[in-house]
Amino acid sequence: MNSEINTADSQDILLEVKGLKTHFLLSEGVLKAVDGVDFTISKGESLGLIGESGSGKSVTAMSLLSLISSPGEIVGGSINLHYDDEKIDITSLNPSGKDIRKIRGNDLAMIFQEPMTSLSPVHTIGAQLEEAIFLHRTKNKSEARVIAIDMLRCAGIANPEQRFNAYPHQLSGGMRQRAMIAIALSCQPKILIADEPTTALDVTIQAQILDLIKDLQAQFNMAVLYITHDLGVIAEVCDNVAVMYLGKIVEYGAVREIFKNPKHPYTISLLKSRPRMTKRGTERLASIEGSIPIPIDLPFQCRFADRCSEVMLGRCDIAEPEMSQAGNKPGNNHWVRCFLNEKLD
Amino acid sequence: MTDKNIQTNDRQSSNSIKTANADEADNILNIRNLTKSFRVKSGIISKNEWVYALDNISLSIGRGETLGLVGESGCGKSTLGRCIVRLYKPQTGELEYNYIDDDGQPQTADLAQLSNKQLKAFRADIQMIFQDPFSSLNPRMTVFNLISEPLIANKITSKAGIAKRVIELAEMVGLNAQHLRRYPHAFSGGQRQRIGIARALATNPKLLVADEAVSALDVSIQAQILNLLDDLKINLNLSYLFIAHDLSVVRYISDRVAVMYLGRIVELADTDELYTNPQHPYTEALISAVPKSEPDDVVTRISLNHEIPNPSAPPKGCHLHPRCQYAKDKCKTDIPALRETKPGHFAACHFAEELSLIGVKDEE
């Protein structure tokens, strides 16, 4: 469909997601949290996946690691992880099998929003770090300790030898997030999935953590998938951005292009609705009417049609738009899912 | 309402800092030297530790003004909000509330010293909007009951008038009559926040304390609620204390902004002045830490060293000195007073005039 969305040569591709569908079978009906998502991540790339709560961005991330539990299920599509000489389709692996466990933490690692709830409160930071290292890197205890302390230092934790024996509750929020980054990076993954990594942190700490991830990304030549609802984070750290709405990507492109020249009415209103640091609060904010619906029994139409200010009756409410290239410039890697864009061509 | 006349103003305000250009009696609330500390029990044998959540705070909120209050978590901004609505009783200091009584005469009361019984008459005037619309609404009450509860508790409307008033309030915040029979779980975050706002407005308040009222909301919904708060302020002649950690939201909604750090106000100025021309190193660092709003923006990041210190053992002198890149010896020993460095601009830094700090550059 739109497998052309490539940012680089196919050699550089690390992860290729095609037509991913993750549905939840509820008593009320089938909740289509992710309903046909395509994107690729290349070596060293920072891709931002942005959307409001309920858009399916976190479910997409969990699907990448095959961490969807009942009643959820990956019902379609493929997630291909590229190695030098082979590809592995994560959706074809048993979600609790040996093969996927080799990938989780080793090739694909994840950091979460709330470090207090995602770290174990009854194990020391060191023990949690060593667990990952034992699984994937070495069986030697003293060697694992050296790697662990080294990782803590990399993550900007002062006195790593002491912190190694600390429990999560003894650390501040920023320190915990650093510890979690150390755990995630301890096996030098190819791709780091950062699900709202700074949402729970103060703005001063957020800046430090984003800088840290950027530095480590360069150091380990790692790709990062940022999942966030904060456009500022996207502007700050991402190369490319995919805007998600109701289980589908509605716009994709380079960050500069999307911020300067957004095409989808949803992206446009999202950008307009944020208050700005650099602007006097004299103008009224543009807001999007209504709120994101629950994706059960959605009518066959553009998913944004009910909230869209540009809706074309007779067009948007009878069919669903496909991804189409924005602008006629060749090599312009900007894609949008909107009939308005098709009309202009 | 006659209870309100229990205290009249015979105080000398000589020792207080003037924090507004307007005459103090015109402000809806004058906070003077407010202190609130909490005991942190640290064991049976060891001594009690005290956390000074509010350390000698002086601040005014003008009539019809939106005062923004920003700071990192743990700086005491929520404690200040809760003292103002008197969920907490401050240890010392004054909360001078100016109001017009039933006879149309201006009156003054010190809320900090009133007993719970005496406070009853003022509860309706100062209301609070909470952060989390998921935990601040009783899941077992319908929206109708949620909004009518404050009307009944404060005996504001006659029994017959309640239904009419509830519908009026619901429409004011953008809900319709059909919503009233439903329970909170049937609503999205933005709509729940509207219910919370309707509850706060039920008692015809004069001052609203909004504690992170939009932080839990998505950006498009956040814009709806910010616009709603703006409209209500004008239509109902409200004043706001807007507590938030998001500096762009505060820039948008506030007339003046106060910056707090470890229980003290470190800077206070008109919004545009504070953002474009900060006078305190902490404000500068806060502003510079905000992610840029466009990919091409150039941001000079001024990072604070270390993290926020343990509030039960704050550094001596200026609380910021271990993290401040401009700190000198004086900062380690002397507490800087909040002083007027320019007309209407207050900063608590020994070197406010000497430093040339970087603020935001306004776009055209």
pLDDT per position as a tens digit, B232-265: 999 999 999 999 989 999 999 999 999 999 999 9
CA distance A34 to A36: 6
Q: Of A168-182, A274-288, B341-355, give the range with the top mean pLDDT.
A: B341-355
Q: Does residue A260 carry a pLDDT above 50?
A: yes
B-interface mutation test, from A236, A278, A280, A304, most B Cβ less than 10 A away = A278
* pLDDT band at residue B51 using 50, 70 and 90 as cut-offs: confident
Beta bridge partners of A47: A225, A240
**The predicted structure's pLDDT at residue A3:** 43
Of A273, A278, A288, the CB nearest to B360: A278
* pLDDT band at residue B157 using 50, 70 and 90 as cut-offs: confident
Q: Does residue A291 carry a pLDDT above 90?
A: no
- DSSP character string of B277-309: S--SHHHHHHHHHSPPSSTT------PPSS-PP
**The predicted structure's pLDDT at residue A330:** 67
CA distance B114 to B172: 32
Lowest mean pLDDT among A220-224, A303-307, B18-22: B18-22
Nearest to A204 by CA among B93, B212, B281: B281
Contacts of B246 in chain A (CB under 8 A): 203
Angle at B324 between CA B320 and CA B330, to 5 degrees: 70
Q: Does residue A11 carry a pLDDT above 80?
A: no
**The predicted structure's pLDDT at residue A171:** 86
**The predicted structure's pLDDT at residue B44:** 67
Q: Does residue B1 carry a pLDDT above 50?
A: no
pLDDT in tens, A195-230: 998 887 888 888 888 999 999 999 989 999 999 989
Those of residues 50-109 in A touching chain B at CB distance below 8 A are: 52-53
Contacts of A206 in chain B (CB under 8 A): 289, 291
- Is B218 within 8 Å of A274 when comparing Cβ atoms? no
Which run of H or of E encompasses B224? helix B219-236
**The predicted structure's pLDDT at residue B311:** 80
Q: Does residue A6 carry a pLDDT above 60?
A: no
Residues B45-55 have a mean pLDDT of 81
Its pTM stands at: 0.86
Read off the tokens for A264: 């989808």
Of B190, B251, B285, the CB nearest to A275: B251
Lowest mean pLDDT among A27-31, B109-113, B359-363: B359-363
Contacts of A172 in chain B (CB under 8 A): 307-308
CATH class held by domain B2-142+188-259: alpha beta
Residues A285-294 have a mean pLDDT of 84
**The predicted structure's pLDDT at residue B188:** 83
- Per the CB < 8 A criterion, the answer to whether B329 and B317 are in contact is no
Averaged pLDDT of chain A: 89
* pLDDT band at residue A328 using 50, 70 and 90 as cut-offs: low
Residues A134-147 have a mean pLDDT of 90
Q: Does residue A1 carry a pLDDT above 50?
A: no
ipTM for the whole predicted complex goes beyond 0.85: no
CA distance B56 to B77: 13
Q: Does residue B9 carry a pLDDT above 50?
A: no
- Per the CB < 8 A criterion, the answer to whether A106 and A222 are in contact is no
Min distance B248 CA to chain A CA atoms (Å) = 4
**The predicted structure's pLDDT at residue A181:** 92
Lowest mean pLDDT among A200-204, B151-155, B203-207: A200-204
Q: Does residue B5 carry a pLDDT above 70?
A: no
AA identity, residue A217: Q
Averaged pLDDT of chain B: 88
Q: Does residue B340 carry a pLDDT above 50?
A: yes
Beta bridge partners of B38: B51
A-interface mutation test, from B191, B219, B304, most A Cβ less than 10 A away = B219
* pLDDT band at residue A165 using 50, 70 and 90 as cut-offs: very high
CA distance A286 to A271: 9
Lowest mean pLDDT among A29-43, A159-173, B250-264: A159-173
CA distance B37 to B39: 7
Minimal Cα distance from B74: which residue of A?
A202
- What is the domain partition of chain B in residue ranges? 2-142+188-259
Min distance B138 CA to chain A CA atoms (Å) = 22
Residues A302-329 have a mean pLDDT of 88
- Per the CB < 8 A criterion, the answer to whether A228 and A48 are in contact is yes
Residue B244 CB contacts under 8 Å (≥ 6 apart), including other chains: B68, B69, B70, B210, B212, B213, B214, B215, B250
pLDDT in tens, B219-233: 888 999 999 999 999
Minimal Cα distance from A282: which residue of B?
B252
